Structure 1
Amino acid sequence: MKVVVTALALGALALSTPVLAQGHDRHDTPAPRHEQAKPSKETKQQRHVRACKAKYRSYDVKRDAYRGQGGRWIKCRL
């Protein structure tokens, strides 16, 4: 008898768990303005890297330099 009751209880729990796990999402409405993420400001370093990449095709971020005509690495000064 205990086995049957336990089996029924486990079965009921297994069937009801997915229903209980479903949340009530509000995907149809946009988040209120105070909850929306603000775009982050670009740092000085990020602007520098972006400018160097735009000007020099050979720019290497780790070295902060680009290849000159003689093949030497030249520090980007933008």
Structure 2
Amino acid sequence: MRPRLVLGAAVPEARDAVALSDLDAEAHAAYGVGSSPALVLVRPDGHIAFRGPASHAEAVAAYCERVFGPAEG
């Protein structure tokens, strides 16, 4: 997986590993998240595999575990 942080702000902070700006909110609208912080998991073929509130990171982790099996390590 390649995580990306898509921000509605013009300038990402230095601590943001890989951040993109969505100043016109087109990406947020395309993924159906509006202005709410969200987690979106997009498959390599472009389909949305998971979408949920950013405050529920455990939900995307549980989804990944169901699909890929338990994390090693």
**What TM-score, normalized by structure 2, do the two folds share?**
0.21
Larger strand proportion, structure 1 or 2?
2
Rg larger in structure: 1
**What TM-score, normalized by structure 1, do the two folds share?**
0.20
